[in-house]
Amino acid sequence: MPSRRRTLLKVIILGDSGVGKTSLMNQYVNKKFSNQYKATIGADFLTKEVQFEDRLFTLQIWDTAGQERFQSLGVAFYRGADCCVLVYDVNSMKSFDNLNNWREEFLIQASPSDPENFPFVVIGNKIDIDGGNSRVVSEKKARAWCASKGNIPYFETSAKEGINVEEAFQCIAKNALKSGEEEELYLPDTIDVGNSSQPRATGCEC
């Protein structure tokens, strides 16, 4: 336990399989990109220390598998997230259409205390492909959807070229931090011996 206060932020990355979630994470954390596609099994976890306004904090990034067969991991994975990143491929309409399902699934599973204001960030990835000629989801359309869901911040990135990735994660970190700032009230009771008898735990458990 650190004596100096540090903050740890749990960030969940969601989206259809193959949209580039793992690539984004690796571009951000390791500054690396591989053209080879390897499906994530279950989930990958990465950590990155970030400085923001003179404060150091740690991003604990949960890179989940996009395949439906891993959806059963739901509640466990989503619990206690500080920010959720929804990723789609600008070259795939289906991956964009599914953003709504991912968002709703997350809100159901994680059941955050204030779902209306839970910090999401949307990323449209793979803008480099074919010089943008194979693009099927327009920026306007994506921004409209984000606006309709409570002004979700929106970024267009290329994990391959490293375009906008740093900026997107800066925003993710900032929003995660903001949501974490509501202080918890930790107020334990004091024993009142007067009106409650304290039953002795019977013997040892051996």
Partner 1 sequence: MSEMSSSELDPEPPIRLHLPPLSPSLFDAEPSDLQQPNGSAARHSSDPSSSTSSGYAGERGSSTATTVSQVEEVLHNEIQEITIHDPQPLSHSSWLPGKRHGDEDDASISWRRRKKHFFVLSHSGKPIYSRYGDEHKLAGFSATLQAIISFVENGADHVKLVRAGKHQVVFLVKGPIYLVCICCTEEPYESLRGQLELIHGQIIVILTKSVNRCFEKNPKFDMTPLLGGTDIVFSSLIHSFSWNPATFLHAYTCLPLAYATRQAAGAILQDVADSGVLFAILMCRHKVISLVGAQKASLHPDDMLLLANFVMSSESFRTSEAFSPVCLPRYNALAFLYAYIHFFDDDTYLMLLTTSSDAFYHLKDCRISIETVLLKSNVLSEAQRSLVDGGMRVEDLPPLPYSGSSHLGQHRLTSDSPERLRESDCGIGGAAGLWHFIYRSIYLDQYISSEFSSPINTPKQQKRLYRAYQKLFASMHDKGLGPHKTQFRRDENYVLLCWVTQDFELYAAFDPLADKALAIKTCNRVCQWVKDVENEIFLLGASPFSW
- Residues making contact with partner 1 (CB under 8 A): 1-3, 5-8, 10, 22, 26, 29-32, 34, 38-49, 58, 60, 62-63, 72-77, 79-82, 110, 113, 179-180, 182, 184-193, 197-198, 200-201, 204-206
Secondary structure E strands in 39-151? 43-52, 55-64, 83-89, 120-125
Nearest to partner 1 of 121, 146 (CB atom): 121
User: Least separation, in Å, of the C-beta of 93 and partner 1?
Assistant: 26
- Residue 20: CB partners within 8 Å, gap ≥ 6? 87, 89, 125, 126, 159
Nearest to partner 1 of 131, 188 (CB atom): 188
User: Least separation, in Å, of the C-beta of 28 and partner 1?
Assistant: 10
Exposure on the CB side of residue 87, measured as CA atoms within 13 A: 30
Nearest to partner 1 of 8, 136 (CB atom): 8
User: Least separation, in Å, of the C-beta of 59 and partner 1?
Assistant: 8
- Residue 26: CB partners within 8 Å, gap ≥ 6? 32, 33, 34, 46, 159
Q: If you search the block for the tokens 């193959």, which residue do you land on?
A: 18
User: Least separation, in Å, of the C-beta of 74 and partner 1?
Assistant: 8
User: In angstroms, rounded to a whole number, what is the distance separating the alpha carbons of residues 63 and 22?
Assistant: 6
Phi, psi angles (nearest 5°) of residue 71? -65, -20
Nearest to partner 1 of 140, 201 (CB atom): 201
User: Least separation, in Å, of the C-beta of 57 and partner 1?
Assistant: 8
Nearest to partner 1 of 25, 146 (CB atom): 25
User: In angstroms, rounded to a whole number, what is the distance separating the alpha carbons of residues 167 and 127?
Assistant: 15
User: Least separation, in Å, of the C-beta of 180 and partner 1?
Assistant: 6
Q: Strand 154-156 vs strand 120-125: parallel, antiparallel, or unpaired?
A: parallel
Nearest to partner 1 of 10, 103 (CB atom): 10
